[in-house]
Structure 1
Amino acid sequence: MFDLDSCIGFMTNRQSKKLAEAFNNRLAPFGVTRVQWIAMYYLDKYKSLSQMELADKMDIKPSTLARLVDRMERDGYVQRVKNDEDRRIFLVSLTEKGEKFWKDLLPEGENMGKVFSNNISDEDMSAFMKVLNQMVRNIE
């Protein structure tokens, strides 16, 4: 008989929520969320992305991203600039304030990664990632 508590989809979703909550709690003293941290990560990595590209990288809906960028723009962390090649597209990038803030936030993600992987061997972590990736490939 089916047991939801041993269903891999339910288990990974439940544990993912716990990890996300822990990261949000770690970032709370900085006044940002993990979703904002992720957006800053990609904007630092790629320097400038269209809103659609950023939404795609973050795996969130464009409407959700628009609200996120609105808040981050209001707080002075990002800016929107019209794309010279296509005036309908806005490119998003970190402001100087956002770049400085990101430098303070980056170690929090690195430290959280260490907490998440504490007492897990590199071999076990590699196997875990391999299994997760295969599960995703199975549904694509």
Structure 2
Amino acid sequence: MHEPLDEELPLDAPNRRRLPPLLRKAWYSLNQAFRRKLASEGITPDQFTALRWLVEKDGKPTTQKQLADLMSSDANTIASLVKRMETTGFIKREVSRQDRRANVLNVTSNGKDVFERARHSAIDLQAEVLGDLSVRQAEEFLRLLEKVADAAGKSAGRV
């Protein structure tokens, strides 16, 4: 007798591969590994991600709200993150000239230096995690994961 294929199993079957626990396991393990790799730089995975988005904006004004959207996070979490990053000297927060209610975030030279050093850890970790896949498989996996993330965002009410 053969093992039933996932598509033959009911969605709630205990031995079926399910998206939420797989994503949770992958995210948790990846986050812990990244946290260990970044520890020597004095930066957390969330701080690295925020710096990456701000550096990639290349000096274009980015508000806390925009950063929250880019990081798929909420305003309170980002406000706390920004406060810690400002305290450590990674970013500067200024009141927006266009909207006095909004804060614009800018990466400091210290933030750029830390990001550049930490970026190598991020690249190494991605290569390590995707190392069992061919280049084509890794690209396809990331493309499909992006589609899943976009679909999940739509289901959550994010556009």
Q: With structure 2 as the length reference, what TM-score do the two structures score?
A: 0.79
Q: Which residue of 1 aligns with 2:6?
A: none
Give unpaired runs (5+ residues) of structure 2. 1-9, 155-159
CA RMSD of aligned residues (A): 1.8
Q: Aligned pair in 2 of structure 1 residues 89, 10: CA closer, same or farther (>3 Å)?
A: same
Aligned AA (2:52):
Y
The secondary structure found in structure 2 opposite 1:6 is coil
Structure 1 residue 120 displacement after superposition: 1.0
> Relative to structure 1, is the Cα distance of residues 5 and 52 closer, same or farther in structure 2, using a 3 angstrom cutoff?
same
1:37 to 44, 48, 51: 48
The corresponding residue for 1:117 is 130
Amino acid at match of 1:6: R
User: Which stretch of the first structure deviates more once superposed, 4-13 or 97-106?
Assistant: 4-13
* 1:1-140 matched pairs, under 5 angstroms: 2-3=13-14, 6-46=17-57, 47=59, 48-136=61-149, 139=152, 140=154
Give the letter aligned to residue 11 of structure 1. Answer: L
Aligned-partner Cα distance in 2 for 1:10–1:56:
24
The C-alpha deviation readout for 1:91-127, integer Å capped at 9, x for no partner, is 0011122122222222111111111111210222233
- The two structures have a TM-score, normalised by structure 1, of 0.89
Moved over 6 A (4+): none
Q: State the shift of 1:89 in Å.
A: 0.9
Number of aligned residue pairs: give it. 140
Identity %: 23
Q: Distance in 2 between matches of 1:49 and 1:9?
A: 31
Tell me whether 13-22 or 64-73 shows the greater mean CA deviation.
Answer: 13-22
Cα 1:6–1:27 change in 2 (3 A) is: same
Larger Rg: 2
SS of match in other structure, 2:98 = coil
Preserved CA contact (<8 Å) 1:81 1:90: yes
Contact 1:5 1:11 in 2 (8 A): no
Is the helix fraction higher in 1 or 2? 1
Paired residues of 2:41 and 2:117 also in contact (CA < 8 A): no
What are the ranges of 5 or more consecutive residues in structure 1 without an aligned counterpart? none
Q: Higher relative contact order at CA 8 Å, sep ≥6: structure 1 or structure 2?
A: 1
Contact 1:51 1:90 in 2 (8 A): yes
Where 1:80 maps in the other structure, the secondary structure is strand
Preserved contact between residue 4 and residue 10 of structure 1 (Cα < 8 Å): no
